[in-house]
């Protein structure tokens, strides 16, 4: 019971209390105490306060509400558009998102609301986003099976030490629903370590040749040359087909320690944020869904790489038994590529031209339309 409700109950008894004798006042106080869980003394003080209060009294506690419903609606539009990311990643990207939407006449909030949104602090942003409803999704199944040829690929030990653009982690996501039985679709995902550039490709099952074809298609879309792959010990990666393909192109290949998912923390997090968060945990067991998923992933790659900011852990500080992590400012993969000194000027200029043609709202609409064509992930 909140204070407003308590005041309403006590106020309803005020007239009777003032007119009652001593014995009746005792009964009224007992009734108020039972109803509101207040002590008799507290109820007496509250009745006295209400008795002496002026008729024109107004409750001015709490201060003025600066960010009202209009600002909350504008904030939620950006938050939904950016895939419901956290406030730390979203804070510095809001002005650019508003600029792009306004450029394409898709921003329909007035100037005052926009100004308030743009000056909102990180703390207020975290508080307001925390009030938005969220839907919790179910979990998935692991389809990683170790390869018998693991001696082919050396194990990468320790964290990445500032690799150049083109070296990244790669993994598969199984769209199997609640059972691994039968045939179904897989997604192959690559995340560049230096720039967080993400590539996605769907394939039927996870055969060796199909996986090589997916990687080759993704490599053709990477803005810079593919220099290295770092998968787990799954048989779809650790095999002669992919080893020969990498050797022929001068691509380094390493793998993480078996069973050590923390070695792949970057790609494991992206498997949820980029794949599960969009297409869910349902089952895709129709080969025709592969083409629709790949069309969806082309739009999703542009949406993620050009408009969704991310943060990189740049330092770990150990203090006793605790570890504090320090992150760099949130940036999109596109911004990281433009800022990287090892990426050529021609590549950066081509990306600038492409960025000028993109709109996150249009890309999100394309993704949603393809999800409807996909039929949504079938529940097991």
Q: What digits encode the pLDDT tens for the residues 339-353?
A: 999 999 999 999 999
User: Domain for residue 56, yes or no?
Assistant: no
Average pLDDT over residues 247-257: 91
C-alpha to C-alpha distance for 207 and 34, rounded to whole angstroms? 70
pLDDT in tens, 124-173: 999 999 988 876 665 666 666 555 566 678 888 777 888 999 999 999 99
Residues 115 and 242 in one domain: no
Phi, psi for residue 256 in degrees, rounded to 5: -85, 165
Query: In terms of pLDDT, which residue wins out, 239 or 1?
Result: 239
Residues 205 and 98 in one domain: no
Length of the chain: 380
Q: Which residues pair with 319 in a beta bridge?
A: 322
In this predicted structure, the answer to whether residue 206 has a pLDDT above a threshold of 60 is yes
User: What's 200's domain CATH number?
Assistant: 3.30.420.10
Label residue 187 by pLDDT band (50, 70, 90).
very high
When mean pLDDT is compared across 31-40, 193-202, 252-261, 306-315, the lowest value belongs to 252-261
327: Cβ contacts below 8 Å, ≥ 6 apart: 88, 311, 312, 313, 314
Among the listed residues 174, 208, 210, 173, the one whose alpha carbon sits nearest the alpha carbon of residue 190:
173
Residues 331 and 253 in one domain: yes
How is residue 143 written in tokens?
A: 């389809």
Judge contact between 103 and 340, C-beta under 8 A. no
Distances (CA, A) of 292 to 80, 297, 373: 23, 9, 7
User: Domain for residue 21, yes or no?
Assistant: yes
Average pLDDT over residues 307-335: 87
Residue appearing with tokens 């018998």: 148
Residues 40 and 81 in one domain: no
Residues 32 and 99 in one domain: no
Provide the pLDDT for residue 138.
59
Residues 358 and 298 in one domain: yes
User: Domain for residue 135, yes or no?
Assistant: no
When mean pLDDT is compared across 1-10, 36-45, 161-170, 294-303, the lowest value belongs to 1-10
Residues 169 and 217 in one domain: yes
User: Domain for residue 313, yes or no?
Assistant: yes
C-alpha to C-alpha distance for 364 and 317, rounded to whole angstroms? 38
How is residue 197 written in tokens?
A: 């550039």
By residue range, what is the domain housing residue 317? 150-374
User: Domain for residue 137, yes or no?
Assistant: no
C-alpha to C-alpha distance for 280 and 377, rounded to whole angstroms? 6
Distances (CA, A) of 261 to 144, 171, 217, 362: 12, 11, 26, 35
Label residue 261 by pLDDT band (50, 70, 90).
confident
Label residue 317 by pLDDT band (50, 70, 90).
confident
User: Domain for residue 380, yes or no?
Assistant: no
Residues 280 and 354 in one domain: yes
Residues 170 and 218 in one domain: yes
Residue appearing with tokens 């969806």: 296
In this predicted structure, the answer to whether residue 380 has a pLDDT above a threshold of 60 is no
pLDDT in tens, 74-103: 999 999 999 889 999 999 999 999 999 999
Output the CA torsion 98→104→109→115 (10° steps): 40
Does an H or E element contain 345, and which?
helix 345-355
Question: What is the tally of structural domains in the chain?
Answer: 3
How is residue 269 written in tokens?
A: 């997090």
User: Domain for residue 211, yes or no?
Assistant: yes
Residues 193 and 253 in one domain: yes
Provide the pLDDT for residue 63.
66
Provide the pLDDT for residue 123.
92
Residues 158 and 241 in one domain: yes
249: Cβ contacts below 8 Å, ≥ 6 apart: 226
Label residue 265 by pLDDT band (50, 70, 90).
confident
Residues 94 and 187 in one domain: no
Distances (CA, A) of 110 to 74, 121, 156, 348: 10, 20, 53, 34
In this predicted structure, the answer to whether residue 259 has a pLDDT above a threshold of 90 is no
User: Domain for residue 59, yes or no?
Assistant: no
């Amino acid at each position: 019971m909140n204070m407003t409700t308590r005041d309403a109950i006590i106020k309803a008894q005020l007239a009777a209390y003032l007119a009652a004798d001593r014995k009746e006042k005792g009964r009224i106080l007992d009734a108020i105490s039972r109803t509101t869980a207040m002590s008799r003394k507290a109820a007496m003080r509250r009745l006295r306060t209400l008795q002496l209060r002026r008729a024109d009294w107004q409750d001015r506690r709490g201060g003025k509400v600066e960010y009202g419903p209009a600002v909350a609606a504008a904030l939620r539009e950006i938050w939904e558009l950016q895939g419901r990311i956290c406030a730390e990643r979203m804070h510095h990207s809001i002005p650019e998102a508003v600029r792009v939407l306004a450029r394409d006449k898709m921003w329909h909030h007035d100037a005052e609301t926009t100004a308030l949104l743009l000056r909102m602090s990180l703390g207020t942003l975290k508080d307001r986003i925390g009030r938005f409803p969220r839907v919790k999704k179910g979990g998935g199944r692991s389809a990683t099976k170790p390869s018998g040829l693991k001696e082919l690929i050396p194990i990468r030990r320790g964290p990445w030490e500032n690799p150049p653009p083109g070296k990244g982690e790669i993994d598969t996501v199984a769209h199997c629903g609640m059972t691994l039985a039968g045939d179904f679709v897989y997604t192959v995902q690559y995340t560049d370590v230096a720039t967080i550039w993400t590539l996605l490709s769907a394939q039927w099952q996870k055969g060796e040749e199909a996986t090589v074809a997916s990687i080759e298609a993704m490599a053709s879309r990477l803005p810079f040359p593919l220099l290295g792959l770092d998968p787990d010990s799954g048989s779809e990666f650790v095999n002669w087909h992919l080893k020969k393909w990498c050797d022929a192109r001068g691509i380094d290949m390493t793998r993480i320690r078996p069973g050590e998912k923390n070695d792949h923390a970057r790609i494991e997090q992206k498997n949820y944020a980029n794949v599960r968060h969009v297409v869910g945990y349902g089952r895709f067991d129709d080969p025709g869904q592969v083409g629709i998923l790949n069309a969806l992933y082309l739009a999703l790659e542009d949406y993620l790489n050009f408009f969704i900011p991310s943060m990189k852990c740049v330092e770990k500080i150990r203090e006793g038994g605790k570890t504090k992590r320090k992150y760099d400012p949130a940036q999109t993969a596109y911004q990281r590529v433009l800022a990287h000194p090892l990426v050529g000027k021609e590549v950066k200029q081509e990306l600038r031209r492409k960025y000028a043609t993109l709109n996150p709202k249009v890309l999100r609409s394309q993704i949603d339309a393809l999800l409807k064509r996909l039929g949504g992930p079938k529940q097991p």
